[in-house]
């Protein structure tokens, strides 16, 4: 058992549902107790979805425990088949069905005999995988199912499209800025003269999956979703894939060069260097921003980064490589894929942190006192408590992270958006600090803002007042140094004198 208040990645079935409900005309049936269909609320609220979420529950209740859920599940599948005529029904196990250990495979086979739709069982184990891994697995499973189905029927189309074309794999519902990223990627492909063969799973029809092999290559923009599918397609059809996330100026260029290499290897002769140059220097504002004096002021400022693999790695590189910001530590909650993260960021930050314990993150932020945080909603709240600005760069996210306006993180427009996000986070911090330097209106009594601060030291009123005069962003550090100094000398009461003695001794 684990005491937990907050989790970064959701349970496995959320991943499966995200894939199923991203496809068009695919219905998911959860084998779950009453109340587990909370996914529908999230999709309807966060994505502000106009349509009903194609997810229903086959309710597990006392009767099911007593008699097994076979009849109920089969009935619910065939009923949904008649009501909604989906192309595919995905039976989705939950934590409850994992322990019931019923033969869901058998139910699927029985239901398949009656249903017009295809029926599959999502092959995910609640206790072994999380949301992201389950999504990865389910997407692969659905693609494999339809490729094999077509192959059996001899309906797999032969050959490639006439012009260079791509499948974009991994755009899904409830993904962080996924819709905007998708639009930006399509635009980028158009600029490069590459046709979009398919985008999966978002908005895709399962009937078209058989045409996936017609594309020249696959693009997997997110580390967490789509790689397994891309590898499968590579293995089956020798399709190359690009797994460089086009986020940030340098990585976008790297991604484009890789695409160039791949399409040229298949017989075209394209040269994207001029395009990259034009975009980098004159169209996107990010490269110019990094040269401007605004950005100069950010040099050496401390930041920390935390999120999923894709976004945390990309942000770390952008901050460090493109803006000269000092990333003290970068972290990810994708523990299952930690090696990759380590390799990506280790040269761009002092320390790598891999954990899914939010208190550990909170303490690590309090310890280094960065000028800005780039993290998830949880880090935003930690930042609020510590008075440090935070830019949200990764799920888990709230409704405000599903903006209505166009805000991609990828491609050249993405670089502009990120520059704004970074710049705004830091200037907010600067304004705050200027206010305080010029007397401000800091009447707060609280001096302890660190998360675990059981201090045995007494500050006199005068010393406390003095401490409050120190600008917020270094106040914690001064406080800590003073207390350390006092402890070393067995001083229990901190006066103004002690404070300045401490300052002199450490030169702080």
Partner 1 sequence: MNVAQPQALTFECETGNYHTFCPISCVAWLYQKIEDSFFLVIGTKTCGYFLQNAMGVMIFAEPRYAMAELEEGDISAQLNDYEELKRLCLQIKRDRNPSVIIWIGTCTTEIIKMDLEGIAPKLEAEIGIPIVVARANGLDYAFTQGEDTVLASMLTRCPDKAVETEKRKENAIQQLFNFGKKKEEIAAEESEYVKHPPLIIFGSLPDPVVTQLTLELKKQGIKVSGWLPSKRYTELPVIEEGYYAVGVNPFLSRTATAFMRRRKCKLITAPFPIGPDGTRAWIEKICSVFGIEPKGLKEREQQVWENLEDYIKLIRGKSVFFMGDNLLEISLARFLIRCGMSCPEIGIPYMDKRYQGAELAMLEQTCQEMGVPMPRIVEKPDNYNQLQRIYELQPDLVITGMAYANPLEARGINTKWSVEFTFAQIHGFTNARDVLELVTRPLRRNNSLKNLGWDKLVKEEAKV
Catalytic residues: 294
Determine, following the binding rule CB under 8 A, whether residue 461 of this chain makes contact with partner 1. no
Instruction: State the Cα–Cα distance between residues 273 and 86, nearest whole angstrom.
Output: 45
- Alpha helix locations (H) across 245-372? 249-265, 273-278, 286-291, 293-296, 309-317, 323, 338-345, 358-368
CB of 507 to partner 1, least distance (A): 36
Q: Of 41-49, 133-141, 176-184, 340-348, which segment contacts partner 1 by CB under 8 A?
A: 41-49
* Residue indicated by tokens 């995905």: 90
Closer CB to partner 1, 10 or 164, in the complex: 10
Closer CB to partner 1, 2 or 152, in the complex: 2
Among 112, 130, 141, 394, binds partner 1 (CB under 8 A): 130
Closer CB to partner 1, 35 or 154, in the complex: 35
Instruction: State the Cα–Cα distance between residues 482 and 258, nearest whole angstrom.
Output: 53
Helices 309-317 & 249-265 angle (0-180, nearest 10): 110
Count of residues in contact with partner 1, rule CB under 8 A: 53
* Residue indicated by tokens 């970064």: 8
Closer CB to partner 1, 34 or 293, in the complex: 34
Q: Of 126-134, 305-313, 322-330, 437-445, which segment contacts partner 1 by CB under 8 A?
A: 126-134
Determine, following the binding rule CB under 8 A, whether residue 400 of this chain makes contact with partner 1. no
C-alpha closest to that of 499 among 472, 473, 468: 468
**Cβ(373)–Cβ(315) below 8 Å:** no
CB of 56 to partner 1, least distance (A): 6
Among 24, 68, 96, 144, binds partner 1 (CB under 8 A): 96
Among 17, 57, 77, 349, binds partner 1 (CB under 8 A): 57
DSSP string, 118-178: EEEE----TTT-BHHHHHHHHHHHHHHHHHHHHHHHT-PPPS--SS-EEEEEEE-TT-TTH
For Cα atoms 123, 126, 127, give the angle at the middle one, nearest 5 degrees.
125
Determine, following the binding rule CB under 8 A, whether residue 453 of this chain makes contact with partner 1. no
Site residues for partner 1, window 345-384 (CB under 8 A)?
378, 381, 384
Determine, following the binding rule CB under 8 A, whether residue 127 of this chain makes contact with partner 1. yes
Determine, following the binding rule CB under 8 A, whether residue 61 of this chain makes contact with partner 1. yes
CB of 451 to partner 1, least distance (A): 10
C-alpha closest to that of 40 among 55, 22, 25: 55
Q: Could you say which DSSP state residue 50 is in?
A: S
Closer CB to partner 1, 298 or 364, in the complex: 364
Q: Of 48-56, 300-308, 332-340, 488-496, which segment contacts partner 1 by CB under 8 A?
A: 48-56
CB burial string 156-184: b at 16+ within 10 A, e below: beeebeeebbbbbbbbbbbbbbbbbbbbb
Residue 332 contacts by C-beta under 8 Å, 6 or more apart in sequence? 306, 307, 308, 309, 312, 313, 338, 341, 353, 354
Among 16, 21, 22, 56, binds partner 1 (CB under 8 A): 56
Determine, following the binding rule CB under 8 A, whether residue 83 of this chain makes contact with partner 1. yes
CB of 308 to partner 1, least distance (A): 16
Among 26, 27, 31, 37, binds partner 1 (CB under 8 A): 37
Determine, following the binding rule CB under 8 A, whether residue 7 of this chain makes contact with partner 1. yes
Closer CB to partner 1, 61 or 148, in the complex: 61
CB of 364 to partner 1, least distance (A): 17
CB of 76 to partner 1, least distance (A): 8
Determine, following the binding rule CB under 8 A, whether residue 53 of this chain makes contact with partner 1. yes
Q: State the DSSP H helix or E strand holding residue 114, giving kind and residue range, or none if neither.
A: helix 104-114
Take residue 167 and report the two structure tokens written for it. 């499948």
Take residue 224 and report the two structure tokens written for it. 């967490």
Residue 184 phi/psi, 5-degree rounding, is -65, -40
Q: How far is CA 301 from its chain centroid?
A: 24
C-alpha closest to that of 362 among 94, 20, 70, 8: 8
Closer CB to partner 1, 335 or 469, in the complex: 335
**Cβ(240)–Cβ(230) below 8 Å:** no
CB of 95 to partner 1, least distance (A): 4
Closer CB to partner 1, 41 or 465, in the complex: 41
Closer CB to partner 1, 95 or 447, in the complex: 95
Instruction: State the Cα–Cα distance between residues 42 and 34, nearest whole angstrom.
Output: 16
Site residues for partner 1, window 97-116 (CB under 8 A)?
99-100
Closer CB to partner 1, 64 or 330, in the complex: 64
Determine, following the binding rule CB under 8 A, whether residue 38 of this chain makes contact with partner 1. yes
DSSP string, 378-438: HHHHHHHHHT--EEE-SSS--GGGS-SS---SSHHHHHHHHHHHHHHHHHHHHHHHHHHHT
C-alpha closest to that of 179 among 193, 189, 168, 190: 168
Among 17, 26, 59, 390, binds partner 1 (CB under 8 A): 59
Site residues (CB under 8 A) for partner 1? Answer: 1-7, 10-11, 13-14, 32-38, 40-42, 44-45, 48-53, 56-62, 65, 76, 83, 85, 94-96, 99-100, 126-128, 130, 378, 381, 384, 398
């Amino acid at each position: 058992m684990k005491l937990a208040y907050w989790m970064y990645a959701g349970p496995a079935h959320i991943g499966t549902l995200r894939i199923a409900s991203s496809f068009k005309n695919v219905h998911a049936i959860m084998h779950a107790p009453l109340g587990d269909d909370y996914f529908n609320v999230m999709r309807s609220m966060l994505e502000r979805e106009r349509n009903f979420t194609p997810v229903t529950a086959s309710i597990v209740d006392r009767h099911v425990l007593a008699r097994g859920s076979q009849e109920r599940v089969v009935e619910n599948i065939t009923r949904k088949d008649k009501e909604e005529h989906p192309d595919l029904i995905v039976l989705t196990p939950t934590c409850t069905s994992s322990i019931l250990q019923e033969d869901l495979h058998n139910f699927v086979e029985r239901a398949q005999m009656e249903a017009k739709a295809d029926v599959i069982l999502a092959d995910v184990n609640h206790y072994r995988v999380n949301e992201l891994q389950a999504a990865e697995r389910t997407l692969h499973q659905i693609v494999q199912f339809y490729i094999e189905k077509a192959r059996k029927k001899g309906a797999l189309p032969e050959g490639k499209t006439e012009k260079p074309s791509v499948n974009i794999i991994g755009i899904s519902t409830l993904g962080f800025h996924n819709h905007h990223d998708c639009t930006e990627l399509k635009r980028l492909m158009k600029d490069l003269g590459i046709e979009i063969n398919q985008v999966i799973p978002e908005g895709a029809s399962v009937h078209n999956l058989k045409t996936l092999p017609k594309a020249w290559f696959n693009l997997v923009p997110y580390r967490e979703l789509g790689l397994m599918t891309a590898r499968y397609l590579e293995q089956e059809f020798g399709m190359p894939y690009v797994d460089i996330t086009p986020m940030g100026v340098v990585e976008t260029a790297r991604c484009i060069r890789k695409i160039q290499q791949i399409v040229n290897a298949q017989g075209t002769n394209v040269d994207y260097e001029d395009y990259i140059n034009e975009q980098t220097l004159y169209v996107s504002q990010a490269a110019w921003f990094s040269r401007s004096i605004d950005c100069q002021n950010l040099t050496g400022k401390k930041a920390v980064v935390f999120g999923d693999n894709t976004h945390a790695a990309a942000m770390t590189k952008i901050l460090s490589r493109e803006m000269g910001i000092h990333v003290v530590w970068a972290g990810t909650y994708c523990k299952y894929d930690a090696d990759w993260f380590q390799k990506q960021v280790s040269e761009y930050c002092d320390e790598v942190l891999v954990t899914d314990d939010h208190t550990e993150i909170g303490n690590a932020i309090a310890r280094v006192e960065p000028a800005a945080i780039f993290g998830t909603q949880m880090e935003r709240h930690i930042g609020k408590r510590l008075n440090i600005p935070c830019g949200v760069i990764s799920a888990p996210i709230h409704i405000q992270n599903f903006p209505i306006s166009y805000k991609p993180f990828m491609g050249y427009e993405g670089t502009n958006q990120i520059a704004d996000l970074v710049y705004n986070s830091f200037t907010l911090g600067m304004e705050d600090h200027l206010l305080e330097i010029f007397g401000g209106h800091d009447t707060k009594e609280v001096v302890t803002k660190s998360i675990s601060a059981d201090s045995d030291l007494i500050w006199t009123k005068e010393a406390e007042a003095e401490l409050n005069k120190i600008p917020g962003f270094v106040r914690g550090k001064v406080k800590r140094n003073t207390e350390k100094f006092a402890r070393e000398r067995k001083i229990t009461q901190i006066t103004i004198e002690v404070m300045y003695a401490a300052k002199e001794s450490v030169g702080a």
